[in-house]
Amino acid sequence: MMITLLRWPPGRRSNRTGHRTAPLPFLTDAQWLLIAEFFANPPASPQGGRPRVSARRCLEGILWILTNGGRRKDLPERYPSPATCWRRHREWTRSGAFQAAWDRLLGKLDRLRRINWEEAIGDGSFSRAKRGEPRSAAAPRGTAPASC
């Protein structure tokens, strides 16, 4: 039996646009260009060793954890290792890089009048839920009866 590949697989179009389920990055290229200087990669060590993972990939991994609320070990494989993301997060937080990038991005949005400073949203989903209520929050006894 002879199989010819001229008609097999039957006339499917090739996918030229990339994988359909590939997630979009958290930062656009324009946003990254605004803050890239805060996350610069240090030069390679003269002692050699493994090259560092790019700062943008680490930042994307950190943003995945922060926006999804997932654990570090649940980080998808398209991002650097969880330990690398954790170390960079610690490094950038201590150096003030995150605060500087946040300030620059907020400043840009403010100049474009894309922020409504009249609105505020509080999220307590990360707060610990305690059983019962504290004594100071209990309603005082002996108050007037509720109206019917």
pLDDT in tens, the chain (148 residues): 455 444 444 445 554 555 567 788 999 999 999 999 999 887 888 888 888 899 999 999 999 998 888 888 889 989 999 999 999 999 999 999 999 999 999 999 999 999 888 887 777 666 666 666 665 555 556 666 666 5
* Matching residue, tokens 């330990």: 83
Which two three-digit tokens encode residue 146?
């509720």
Alpha-carbon distance values, 50 to 33, 92, 147 (Å): 26, 20, 73
Which pLDDT does position 33 carry in this prediction? 95
The model carries a pTM of 0.66
Q: Are the C-beta atoms of residues 50 and 80 closer than 8 Å to each other?
A: no
**CA dist., res. 45 & res. 64, Å (int):** 29
Total residues belonging to the chain? 148
